[in-house]
């Protein structure tokens, strides 16, 4: 994988890589969040992240925006191309005793390395902010692309079955 140069603003989350910007959601992104949620991979692997109406997407975006200043809540950040086009998201979600990462790249932008680029830039920054030594990635074993992304980003397979569990340590 190519080297990723990252610049960071610590006030509001703003991560710049060679090709991507990871930042906080705002209301101008509601339509793109809605559209990105509709592809078949999202429906298959994370149906709870599919919005049937733009109003559902609006409610979700507004709720996510309210989470940025809170503790122990899901934190979801859009992944933008340098052009400003929203192509997906990266997230970190608290579970009972650990945190799980997740990500989604809209179908028309898959297979370009964007998920690995975003996750590689996001992990050290969000883990430092949250004071985490490790995070997990939990993936449907049939989602080979997501398993590959986790492995490219340094996650180690801990458990394999219909659901695979990966661990990442700083």
The number of folded domains in the chain is: 1
Contact predicate 36/81, CB 8 Å: no
Quote the CA–CA distance of 41 and 38 in Å, as a whole number.
Answer: 9
Contact predicate 168/153, CB 8 Å: yes
What's the rounded mean pLDDT across residues 18-46? Answer: 85
Residue 44: pLDDT above 80?
no
64 assigned to some structural domain: yes
Residue 3: pLDDT above 60?
no
What's the rounded mean pLDDT across residues 11-30? Answer: 92
Domain housing 51: 7-169
1 assigned to some structural domain: no
2 assigned to some structural domain: no
Q: Which residues pair with 146 in a beta bridge?
A: none
120 assigned to some structural domain: yes
pLDDT digits (tens, 9 = 90+) for 55-74: 999 999 999 999 988 888 89
pLDDT digits (tens, 9 = 90+) for 119-164: 999 999 999 989 999 999 999 999 999 999 999 999 999 999 999 9
CATH of the domain at 68: 3.40.630.30
């Amino acid at each position: 994988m190519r080297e990723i140069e990252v610049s960071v603003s610590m006030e509001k989350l703003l991560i710049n890589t060679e090709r991507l910007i990871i930042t906080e959601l705002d209301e101008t992104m509601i339509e793109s969040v809605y559209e990105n949620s509709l592809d078949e991979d999202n429906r298959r692997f994370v149906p709870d992240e599919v919005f049937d109406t733009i109003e559902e997407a609006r409610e979700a975006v507004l709720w996510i925006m309210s989470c940025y200043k809170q503790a122990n809540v899901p934190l979801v950040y859009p992944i933008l191309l340098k052009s400003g086009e929203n192509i997906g998201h990266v997230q970190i979600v608290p579970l009972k005793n650990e945190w799980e990462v997740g990500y989604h790249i809209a179908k028309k932008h898959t297979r370009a390395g964007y998920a690995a680029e975003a996750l590689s830039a996001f992990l050290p920054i969000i883990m430092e902010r949250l004071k985490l030594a490790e995070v997990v990635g939990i993936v449907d074993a049939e989602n080979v692309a997501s398993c590959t992304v986790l492995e490219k980003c340094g996650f180690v397979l801990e458990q394999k079955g219909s659901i695979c569990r990966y661990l990442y340590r700083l």
